[in-house]
Amino acid sequence: MNSKEYYQKNKKRIRKRNNLYWKNNKDKKSVKDRRYYIKHREYLIKKSQKWRINNQEKRKKQSKKRYILVQIKIKAQRLAQKIPLKKSCEICGEINNLERHHWDYNQSLLVNTLCKNCHQIQHIKYFYDSYYGRIL
């Protein structure tokens, strides 16, 4: 068996192991990524341009989806303005920089009072993989 065959046969396992390695060596990865980018810059730019041209429908759908999510969020925030903030953060008790935290933007009146710091932590903890992981 040559190395190519070996790779093909164990593709999943090797990829998994490599991904784990780069995950644990993030600083090395950023150097590697930068080097790769510099070396293949033109190719990468062309590739992304090509993708954009070939996937216009997909891009339209994505931006439409994002637009709807933002609308839901804005509506929920507007409705929640009427709910008074509590005197302190419900997690740590901080009294400065208080914000309303939505657990679900479809339930606009379900909010808790959190300080800025706890609010960010909640978003990273529970919404990181979703669009809502980022606080706009």
Residue ranges in contact with Zn ion by CB under 5 A: 89, 91-92, 94, 115, 118
**Residues 132 and 123 sit within 8 Å (Cβ to Cβ):** yes
**Residues 115 and 97 sit within 8 Å (Cβ to Cβ):** yes
Q: Please, what is the minimum distance in Å from the beta carbon of residue 114 to Zn ion?
A: 5
Q: Please, what is the minimum distance in Å from the beta carbon of residue 100 to Zn ion?
A: 13
Q: 134 Cβ partners below 8 Å, 6+ apart?
A: 123
Q: Please, what is the minimum distance in Å from the beta carbon of residue 48 to Zn ion?
A: 40
Closer by beta carbon to Zn ion, 49 or else 97: 97
Closer by beta carbon to Zn ion, 85 or else 91: 91
Closer by beta carbon to Zn ion, 77 or else 117: 117
| 98-102/111-115 β-pairing | antiparallel
DSSP secondary structure letter of residue 84 = P
Closer by beta carbon to Zn ion, 111 or else 118: 118
Which of 133, 84, 77 is closest to 102 using CA atoms? 77
Q: Please, what is the minimum distance in Å from the beta carbon of residue 120 to Zn ion?
A: 10
